[in-house]
Amino acid sequence: MTPTDRDASTSRRQLLLTGTVGAAATAFLAACGTKDNSKSGQSGVDPTTTLVTPTVPLGEPSEVELATEQQNLRTAASLELVVAAAYTTYGPKLTDAELSAQAERIAGEHTELADTFNGAVDGADQKVTDPNEWVQTNVIDPVADQMTSDGAILSLMGKLESTLAASYTQVVSDATTTEWRGRWAAIAAGAARRAALLSNGGDGAVPTSALYPSTDAVSNNAKLVSDAEAEGDGGS
């Protein structure tokens, strides 16, 4: 292998968009407006350390952008809760005691991540306490009667983790602060790691693309809307 030819015919835009193919159809929350990052700000960095994430806004977000981010956070909280519930339901059914213990640990971590997302949701009445109903009904319940082996259970867990990873990577660009841009990516990568090891009945799934595919992102139908939007004119 040699360094890439700079004159590669594929344009930058094409390559970037390659990573987002299907995002419009499958990403659970698409940005509804354009971003103005011309005044983006962040603190300087310590030259001797790996950069860390300052908590500063990426320019002045529009109301639409803020609303999108809130939807992302609320939806993510509901996804974490439904995945935690799946681990709690099926983890004890694993015959491998070590795997069962790991499932219990991961269930707790997903619950904590739900708290993390809820912590960034504005308004106490907007915090999400219920697992995502769409995922429960359309993804988990249909295979409930198949959860009779460790392999089947691990595959479901891997699928759910990949859903989280794909969904979260797709909303990185929606974040209105540097903190959350990094946080989405970090949480997505954690889910991707679990997906890699749990998928295919625990045999693992080898990534066949340099960019984590969006195809596993949760359906738009799983998106949560705020109470105000639900009562309003149909949302943005």
Partner 1 sequence: MPIDRSTQPTAGTTRRTFLARTAGIGALVTAGAVVAPTLGAAPWAGAQAGDSELTDAAFASFATPYELAAVQAYLLALRSGQLDATWTDRARQFQMNHQATADTLTTLLGDEDPAPRADADLVEQLTGSIGGAGSQEAVLGVLAGLEETLAATHLSAVPLLRDPITGRTVAQVVATESQQAALLGIDSGATFEELTPAEASDEGGIPLSDAPDAGDSTGETTTTAAN
CB of 89 vs partner 1, minimal distance in Å: 19
SS3 97: helix
Residue 47 touches partner 1, criterion: CB under 8 A? yes
SS3 151: helix
**Which of 186, 187, 195, 223 minimizes the C-alpha distance to 27?**
223
Binds partner 1 by CB under 8 A, chosen from 197, 219, 225, 229: 197
Nearer to partner 1, 34 or 231 (CB): 34
Binding to partner 1 by CB under 8 A, coded x per residue (else -) over 68-107, reads ------------------------------xx--x--xx-
Nearer to partner 1, 7 or 233 (CB): 7
CB of 228 vs partner 1, minimal distance in Å: 26
CB 74 within 8 A of CB 128: yes
Number of residues that bind partner 1 (CB under 8 A): 81
DSSP class of 140: I
Residue 127 touches partner 1, criterion: CB under 8 A? no
Residue 42 touches partner 1, criterion: CB under 8 A? yes
Residue 143 touches partner 1, criterion: CB under 8 A? no
CB 217 within 8 A of CB 134: no
Residue 50 touches partner 1, criterion: CB under 8 A? yes
Question: Whole-angstrom Cα distance, residue 118 to residue 109?
Answer: 14
Residue 21 touches partner 1, criterion: CB under 8 A? no
CB of 39 vs partner 1, minimal distance in Å: 6
Quick one: tokens of 202? 């625990």
CA angle 217, 61, 126 (to 5 degrees): 60
Quick one: tokens of 207? 């990534």
Residue 236 touches partner 1, criterion: CB under 8 A? no
Binding to partner 1 by CB under 8 A, coded x per residue (else -) over 146-185, reads -------------------x---xx-xxxx--xx-xxxxx
In angstroms, the Cα distances linking 195 to 10, 77, 183 are 30, 19, 18
